Structure 1
Amino acid sequence: MVHEATEHTPPAGTGTAADGWAALLAPRLAQFAAVARHEHVTRAAQELGMPQPTLSRALARLEADLGVTLFARQGRAVRLTRAGVTFRDAAERALAEVERAAESVRLEADPGGGRVAFGFLHTLGSETVPGLLRAFRADHPRVRFQLVQTYGEAMLERLRAGELDLCLTSPLPDEPGLVVRRLDEQRLRLVLPAGHRLAGRRRVRLAEVAADPFVTLEPGYGLRRITDALCAEAGFTPRVAFEGEEAETLRGLVAAGLGVALLPPPAVPRPGVAELEVLGQRAVREIGVAWQAGQTDPPPVAAFKTFLLSRKGRLL
């Protein structure tokens, strides 16, 4: 069906540029709502900035398409039928939702403000991410952040689904559809109970604890994959006694004498443990920023991405 075009500009006299989004995006609902509000076609046409005959034809087409009579006409004055009242309530809710959605996405594209959906690993949440946000917001004080703190696989799944704009992750994913830039690396330590037979050493080979129970993160966490890979490289499969979801909890389990662990350095030194350098292997985890390939970044996301890339080698 061919419909008569209406001018794609917000209605006159509506104030700011955002005020007419509902009329711009859903003109037929807006036309109906205006007539229902005024109960007069001419006055509604004046509000909408369109000729009265054009509005009358648009209403007639709407009724024809719906197969119901929305208005009882008395010259140019009208009143809603029972079907019209039902449709008016739904139309007003729909227009209000369009208005809210349009304003929301417009605000997110505001170069000086807007929102960034940012994901990161639990182990980066105590110091690294707060420091990054503080430094970024010194120059972008109106940018808001939706922060998602989770493990690597769950975070990448949300990134692929479009729920996140950017994420800090490790190990670095290598898969189609994602762009990844390495930013820094973090040296891992072998964490032992303070009373462990090797606790007085500064350095140790991973094979020397092959018989010890390990406490690790659960499968699916990047640090778990790194732990398993380093142990395999050292010639053994770790005997996992406890699995957790947070590095500092694992450190507490080590302090309680329940096993050993490979962990990044703590934000604050923890009593009850010894943290040793791993000899003979490159015991590190690379940390990078990832985003979806081909996406067009709103200004606040582009600014934060540029900021993160400028921190290469200085992230931690």
Structure 2
Amino acid sequence: MNLRDLKYLVALADHKHFGRAAAACYVSQPTLSTQIKKLEDELGVPLVERAPRKVMLTPAGRDAADRARRIVAEVEQMKEAARRSQDPEAGTVRLGLFPTLGPYLLPHVVPQLRARFPHLELLLVEEKSDVLLSRLREGKLDAGLLALPIADDQLHTEFLFEEPFVLAVPESHPLAQRASLTLAELSQQQLLLLEDGHCLREQALDVCRLAGANEKSEFRATSLETLRQMVAADVGITLLPTLAVKPPVARSPNIHLLGFSDSHPNRQIAMVWRKSSAMSEFLQQLAQVFRELPPGLLEPDPPVHGTGTSASRPPEPSRPHMA
């Protein structure tokens, strides 16, 4: 038994197909099939149920694949630890982010990351939170930016920041005449939400439950930008995270944004990695860069009708300073 054979088994467990698993391992299908058979002979149990068009792992095969995945991940961590002992700030970090955070946060952080770690290769993976957590546990990601809470005692969570929510309403909506609102004023409102699988959906539902609001169930968006366009088209109202309404995001015509005056619904963002990771010390440094956001970035702008941001507010005439 060797590490190569364990990688073949993990690939087969992932792809459920000999041809695709072989391609992922850059070997021929007969080579991969032969090595899996040798692994079965060595363990003395069948690992794979072979059917003409389908491959399934036996219970022993699933257990062996899970163990092999952990072994492969540990070996990669060993290599990474050895390399980082020579140059802690160089190399590759595989970082996962969820879709309603990544596009809006990264423009504010990547320049600082490049300046702080000029030799670092940052590989960014955008997926829904449950996929990121799965890949993190399997060793396919080094760290992830995720919304709290996360219930997994094998993972370390490093709190980064709180991101407030704002309410986005069409210009024709009665609330568009307001500068702010209380959480209770959401009662009886129907909100547009994302489809299942997005953590922002669950966060928005938590706010709805607190406020007594409901979901507009006849429509569910696949992205935050779809939600924004539906509000602009006067289909309904929604909650948006503050970063999604800040430059360099384009201004949204026909949308009015309101903050909350009595409570501050928000989501808490953390960097998450395996407690066993050999990169823990470096990831602490990486997390610190994500904490150092530009001043005011996480504060909702004053409401401006018809833009969604304060960027188009005409400048006020200068007034003499009164001592």
Normalised by the size of structure 1, how large is the TM-score?
0.60
Correspondence 1:291 to 2:273:
yes
Aligned-residue CA RMSD (Å): 2.9
Cα distance in 2 for residues equivalent to 1:277 and 1:195 = 18
After superposition, the C-alpha distances for 1:17-71 in whole angstroms (9 at most, x for unaligned) are xxxxxxxx99xxxxxxxxxxxxxxxxxxxxxxxxxxxxxxxxxxxxxxxxxxxxx
User: Of the two, which has the highest radius of gyration?
Assistant: 1
After superposition, the C-alpha distances for 1:73-130 in whole angstroms (9 at most, x for unaligned) are xxxxxxxxxxxxxxxxxxxxxxxxxxxx99xx57993525311100112233334223
Q: Secondary structure at the match of 2:116?
A: coil
Q: Secondary structure at the match of 1:136?
A: helix
Q: CA deviation at 1:254?
A: 0.8
Cα distance in 2 for residues equivalent to 1:220 and 1:108 = 37
Name the count of aligned residue pairs.
Answer: 214
**Which residue is equivalent to 1:233?**
210
- Shift of the 157–306 alpha-carbon distance from structure 1 to 2, 3 Å rule, reads same
Q: CA deviation at 1:288?
A: 0.9
**Which residue is equivalent to 2:230?**
253
Instruction: Say whether the 8 Å CA contact 1:207–1:234 is kept in structure 2.
Output: yes
Aligned partner of 1:227: which letter?
A
Correspondence 1:109 to 2:83:
yes
**Which residue is equivalent to 2:255?**
273
Q: Secondary structure at the match of 1:129?
A: helix
After superposition, the C-alpha distances for 1:185-212 in whole angstroms (9 at most, x for unaligned) are 1110011011111101011234434444
Correspondence 1:307 to 2:290:
no
Cα distance in 2 for residues equivalent to 1:108 and 1:117 = 17
Instruction: Say whether the 8 Å CA contact 1:191–1:261 is kept in structure 2.
Output: yes
Cα distance in 2 for residues equivalent to 1:312 and 1:254 = 31
- Shift of the 106–225 alpha-carbon distance from structure 1 to 2, 3 Å rule, reads closer
Instruction: Say whether the 8 Å CA contact 1:226–1:285 is kept in structure 2.
Output: yes
Cα distance in 2 for residues equivalent to 1:107 and 1:229 = 40
Instruction: Say whether the 8 Å CA contact 1:206–1:231 is kept in structure 2.
Output: no
Instruction: Say whether the 8 Å CA contact 1:172–1:287 is kept in structure 2.
Output: no
Q: Secondary structure at the match of 2:218?
A: strand
Instruction: Say whether the 8 Å CA contact 1:108–1:114 is kept in structure 2.
Output: no
Which of 161, 176, 194 is the matching residue for 1:199? Answer: 176
Aligned partner of 1:222: which letter?
C
Normalised by the size of structure 2, how large is the TM-score?
0.59
Instruction: Say whether the 8 Å CA contact 1:152–1:221 is kept in structure 2.
Output: yes
Aligned partner of 2:270: which letter?
G
Aligned partner of 1:309: which letter?
Q
Alignment of 1:1-316 (within 5 A): 109=83, 111=87, 112-265=89-242, 266-267=245-246, 268=249, 269-297=251-279, 302-309=281-288, 311-312=290-291, 314=293
Cα distance in 2 for residues equivalent to 1:227 and 1:106 = 39
Unaligned runs of 5+ in 2: 5-74, 298-323
Instruction: Say whether the 8 Å CA contact 2:186–2:211 is kept in structure 1.
Output: no
Q: Secondary structure at the match of 2:196?
A: coil
Unaligned runs of 5+ in 1: 1-24, 27-100
Q: CA deviation at 1:311?
A: 4.5
Cα distance in 2 for residues equivalent to 1:163 and 1:235 = 40
Q: Secondary structure at the match of 2:270?
A: strand
Cα distance in 2 for residues equivalent to 1:196 and 1:263 = 16
Q: CA deviation at 1:310?
A: 5.1
Q: CA deviation at 1:165?
A: 0.7
Q: Secondary structure at the match of 1:281?
A: coil
Instruction: Say whether the 8 Å CA contact 1:210–1:238 is kept in structure 2.
Output: no
Q: Which one is further off, 177-186 or 259-268?
A: 259-268
Cα distance in 2 for residues equivalent to 1:234 and 1:176 = 32
Aligned partner of 1:152: which letter?
S
- Shift of the 209–140 alpha-carbon distance from structure 1 to 2, 3 Å rule, reads closer
Instruction: Say whether the 8 Å CA contact 1:172–1:288 is kept in structure 2.
Output: no
Cα distance in 2 for residues equivalent to 1:106 and 1:236 = 49
**Which residue is equivalent to 2:7?**
none
Q: Percent identity?
A: 28
Q: CA deviation at 1:134?
A: 2.0
Cα distance in 2 for residues equivalent to 1:174 and 1:164 = 18
- Shift of the 306–107 alpha-carbon distance from structure 1 to 2, 3 Å rule, reads closer
